Amino acid sequence: MDTTNNVATERVGFIGLGTMGAAMATNLARAGFDLTVWNRTPGRGDETLVVGARRASTPGEVAAASDVVVLCVTDSPQVDEVLFADHGLAQGLRSGSLVIDCSSISPLATLDFANRLAPIDVTWVDAPVSGGSEGALNATLSIMVGGGDDDVARARPILAAMGTTITHVGGLGAGQWAKAINQVILAGTYLGVAEGITLGLKAGLDMDKVVTALSGGAAASWILSNRSGRMIQDDYPLGFKLALHRKDLAIALALARETGAELPVATLAAAFEDELIADGHGDEDNSALARSIRQRSGL
């Protein structure tokens, strides 16, 4: 297939129109791609239709209308379902099709899915994303990509419509390894910012001013800039669900056990997240980790 001008030649399907996926699909349509969409929950993602996407009735119908299909669903079982259940993608994908998986799943599951599609000459790129709902909305996501050189080159114009930092980190599964590492680092950063905010509040400081001061120094981070206000106000509107971060930490901790790595901070964050989920906070933004620190500090 000639991919010299992907916007003109590639028909794109998109499956998974949640908080992240709907914005990502909308940006693909705005970039000029011929777009067909489907979501497991009917009625979500209508904003993609406004900018020219078509809604399919099944994943198989998406596959039949597409050369490249992008997935952005919750976990490995959902990827398996949209691929191989009745009327799944595998029933509509043709030889030469490409699947770009922006979901966050295990690298081992990635290899399994790719191997199951290889006999029908369908290739796979794993391309999990980071940047939160803001990054999805503004097409400024950081995208960690695993796959063969030719497949990644084919995927790149599509990924460029959704993100600004697109890094080919290695072969199949490498993108998912990078995403697991990303979530481990985020766990520590969320906890560190939450502890600093809590200490300042206990001291009676104006934490908005403190954050401004810290943002120009070595403590600066995306979380400090974009999530400290929520921690100060103790209010956590959705950006990236805490329950989804816990799912991703489970992947990272499993990989750590397999490789013999010790992740004490990620293990602590997972325990705090388990408590928060049990208390009904799993659908709040991941910055709700600050609840645990605040509560332990009497705030």
Catalytic: which of 179, 209, 241, 247?
Answer: 179
Rounded distance between C-alpha atoms, residue 202 and residue 250, angstroms: 32
Q: What is the DSSP letter of 241?
A: B
The Cβ-side half-sphere exposure at 152, using a 13 Å CA radius, reads 19
Tokens of 85: 């259940």
Tokens of 277: 């989920």
Examine the residue annotation and report whether 202 is marked as an active-site residue of this protein.
Answer: no
Q: Which residues contact 43 (CB under 8 A, 6 or more apart)?
A: none
From the number of C-beta atoms within 10 Å of its C-beta (0-12, 13-18, 19+), residue 241 rates as buried
Rounded distance between C-alpha atoms, residue 142 and residue 129, angstroms: 6
Rounded distance between C-alpha atoms, residue 17 and residue 14, angstroms: 8
In what helix (H) or strand (E) does residue 115 lie, and over which residues does it extend?
A: helix 107-117
Q: Provide the annotated active-site residues.
A: 179
